[in-house]
Amino acid sequence: MNGWRGKRGRWLWLAGAPLFIFLALWAADKLWPLPLNEVHPARVVVAHDGTPLWRFADAGGIWRYPVTIEEVSPRYLEALINYEDRWFWRHPGVNPFSVARAAWQDLTAGRVISGGSTLTMQVARLLDPHSRTFGGKIRQLWRALQLEWHLSKRDILTLYLNRAPFGGTLQGIGAASWAYFGKPPARLSYADAALLAVLPQAPSRLRPDRWPARAGAARNKVLDRMAAQGVWPAETVRESREEPVWLAPRQMPQLAPLFARMMLSKSQNDKIVTTLDAGLQRQLEDLARAWKGRLPARSSLAMIVVDHTDMSVRGWVGSVDLNDDSRFGHVDMVTAIRSPGSVLKPFVYGLALDDGLIHPASLLQDVPRRTGDYRPGNFDSGFHGPVSMSDALVRSLNLPAVQVLEVYGPKRFAAKLRNVGLPLYLPAGAVPNLSLILGGAGARLDEMAAAYSAFARHGKAAKLRLQPDDPLSERPLMSPGAAWIIRRIMADEAQPLPDNALPRIVPLAWKTGTSYGYRDAWAIGVNARYIIGIWTGRPDGTPVVGQFGFASAVPLLNQVNNLLLAHTGRLPEDPRPQTVSRGVICWPGGQTLPAGDSNCRRRLATWLLDDSQPPRCCYLSRKTSTVFVSRSGWMIRGGVSLPTVRRRVRIRLSSGRGRWSRGCRLRKDVAPACPRRPLTVRRYRAMMPRR
């Protein structure tokens, strides 16, 4: 009986022992969990092709470049596993044979010469550092078993790829590949892979930039083993051994610092992938450094390049020199709020086209005007009288733009721009007024560049895409026809050529802006593929005498445009929209002329929108009167019914009747009627301009 009870007790003990061990291990795992997240974050901002732009080290100064297994060369994985842990995919985290062999070697040598560590055990030591003692080894074994319990083999290998030390402040194969070889880990050669496979064994002693001979010997040892095991061809190994181990001093990524700083707040990832082009970014920064000597003291510049086919930002230079405090190099002027000057004028003309207020040949008035206390003037302090809309835009005349904005409505104009992502920043409590169109509100260069996409994207303005995963979001600002017409005018192609003579690819269309007091100089350009935004000035807002858009920003705009075109393949075409047609109008009245109508002294060919009757200038001036003119050109007061008398419409300007009318001192080819005098008959030829 006692024997039976003893046997039952032994069976119960044997049955309960595994359960007890399992519960003990489960409790130990809960009491001492894996420190998977106990690492200071180190972040890196990279270009769209993975090239690192700027690194942000962790609290200990460590730099990492996170990678996945798929982003690492198979050559490196082969070298790593075959040299460090051939049974990695099969053992449970600990290889008993390797541990026994290492223990025997240590005992016979009387010192630790081999740890028998698997890759899993090495990851355990990286996660939970310990002393090289017997107790430390037990701790390492326990952590290795925990890793195998909680993670897959691929997860463990990924941890090694991103945590292994590679000398100095480098951790992970990604950081090592970029720092030592200047290329992604997916493009490692056989020699590179062998060197980086052995480097974590002694990262300080084998650093290739400091000890190339030691590093070369260790690399060749790995190469020989790969040949002996038949993993790599012997001929490949022989050629790889001949490659010298010489590395230039490590160059840490130093591109787009202000852009990278901004991206930290937009993503929580350790590796932030952006849409920037690293090669273009490097060229833009080189260009900025070359321009530094041409800028006045305490001045800076900003540049942004956007691919308007998908709205990805390709280049971003926030200041002329990050390290120059005298030029406020730490201030990102791409996102700074500055006065845009005349850069907004194309928008008001495009919106007015859609409203039927004007067409490219409409008569506008560049004459003195005053609205309350607001009395705008031109950049050259002069006035040019009656001008066409296209001429006013090309010459960036202020008074015609104010005239059109007054009819369109400042509040409506500001609301339209805000709806597509271009807010105009006003002082607290201020409301939009006529000064908007001349820089009376603040704007940002990046938002301005995004709004200019409307002229390249058929009237739809889209938001900038800073990361590849950002969706393409766009809103209509104006009709495709209006956007096409304004873009052609800005490209100095306002003349309506036949389709077979009309350029299918639009050259650079651009607009400048100069803020009041010469504080800001802008230039925004749109070519067949890119939008280019340029700003120059002083970040502290002090004026720079002689700085204006055409002199300060346009030369830089042209250099960036040439740089882009030199590296751009096939350019997209920009055909004339179906809603845009050619027409002939009688200027300055604006009425269309049927074919064969000769009853006009000056004809202008122009683009018409939606085949509609173009508005006459009186919509804006509201000042016309009917007069009677003799065959010899004399104007006769009152109606006279004679065969030799013709009826004509006289256009009178709605403002500037003072000195602009007295003496008929307007431009000779567009003079209005002479001043009122108590005469019955007077000459009228000045009203019928010739070319």
- State whether residue 533 is helix, strand or coil: strand
Chain centroid offset of residue 94 CA: 50
List the strands of the sheet with 43-46, edge to edge.
Answer: 52-56, 43-46, 271-273
Catalytic residue among 240, 342, 362, 390: 342
What string of DSSP letters covers 23-67? HHHHHHHHHS---TT-S---EEEE-TTS-EEEEE--TT--EE---
Residue 115's alpha-carbon distances to 107, 149, 206, in angstroms, are 12, 22, 19
Tokens of 296: 């006045």
Residue 443: other Cβ atoms inside 10 A: 26
| 388 belongs to the catalytic site | no
Catalytic residue among 73, 78, 84, 300: 84
Provide the residue count of the chain. Answer: 691
Residue 509's alpha-carbon distances to 62, 263, 293, 347, 527, in angstroms, are 46, 30, 28, 14, 6
User: Who contacts 409 (Cβ-Cβ below 8 Å, separation ≥6)?
Assistant: none
Q: Dihedral of CA 474/478/481/482: which sign? A: negative
Half-sphere exposure of 612 (CA within 13 A, CB side): 15
**What backbone torsions phi and psi does residue 622 show, to the nearest 5 degrees?**
55, 30
Residue among 426, 430, 385 nearest 403 (CA): 385
Cα distance from N-terminal residue to C-terminal residue, the chain: 131
| 242 belongs to the catalytic site | no
User: Who contacts 113 (Cβ-Cβ below 8 Å, separation ≥6)?
Assistant: 105, 106
Place of tokens 């090289």: 132
Q: Is the previous residue joined to 129 through a cis bond, with omega within 30 degrees of 0?
A: no
What's the rounded Cα separation, in Å, for the pair 145 and 485?
71
Place of tokens 């979001």: 473
SS (H, E, C) 425-471: ECCCCCCCCHHHHHCCCEEEHHHHHHHHHHHCCCCEEECCECCCCCC
Which sequence positions are flagged as catalytic? 84, 342
